Amino acid sequence: MGNRLQGKRAIVTGAGSGIGRASARRFAQEGATVLIADWSEAGLEETRKLIAADGGKVFTRRIDAGVEADVKGLVEQALSDLGGIDVLYANAGISGGSWLIAETSVEQFQEILRVNLIGPFLAIKYVLKQFVNVKGD
């Protein structure tokens, strides 16, 4: 492919499958070193193998995107293993299944919101601190 991201360091959440996997692979094909994150160990390993087979440089971390300590640890790993962060793709998300909204419990909907809304908020919160040099937790 190209080298549009040569020398860049990227975090991709939800990289164990689907759009996250495809994006992580493309970032690596374009020259980025990628730190891929997902809750699925098997998915992460499959994505890691695909990126490595393409000649890309990849690191992995199992996280729950909606858990603050997990996301904070992900960013800390990026700083340690990658030496910084240039790109964040907060892709992790869940659909919640295929049930009807009238049959959806509040707990089910809260879980969707936790991963799909709180997850990107947390990723942005901790990566933004690196981009603008903000202090604090």
Give pLDDT tens digits for 31-84: 999 999 999 999 999 999 999 999 999 999 999 999 999 999 999 999 999 999
| CATH number for the segment(s) 9-132 | 3.40.50.720
Model pLDDT, residue 130? 87
Query: If pLDDT is split at 50, 70 and 90, which confidence band does 2 have?
Result: confident
Q: Buried b vs exposed e over 89-114: b needs ≥16 C-beta within 10 Å?
A: bbbbbbeeeeeeeeeeeeeeeeebee
Query: If pLDDT is split at 50, 70 and 90, which confidence band does 121 have?
Result: very high
Query: If pLDDT is split at 50, 70 and 90, which confidence band does 110 have?
Result: very high
Model pLDDT, residue 134? 56
- Output the average pLDDT for the chain: 94
Q: Is 133 exposed, middle or buried (0-12, 13-18, 19+ CB in 10 A)?
A: exposed
Alpha-carbon separation of residue 20 from 43, 51, 116, 132 (angstroms): 11, 12, 14, 25
Sign of the dihedral defined by the CA atoms of residues 121, 123, 124, 125, in that order: positive
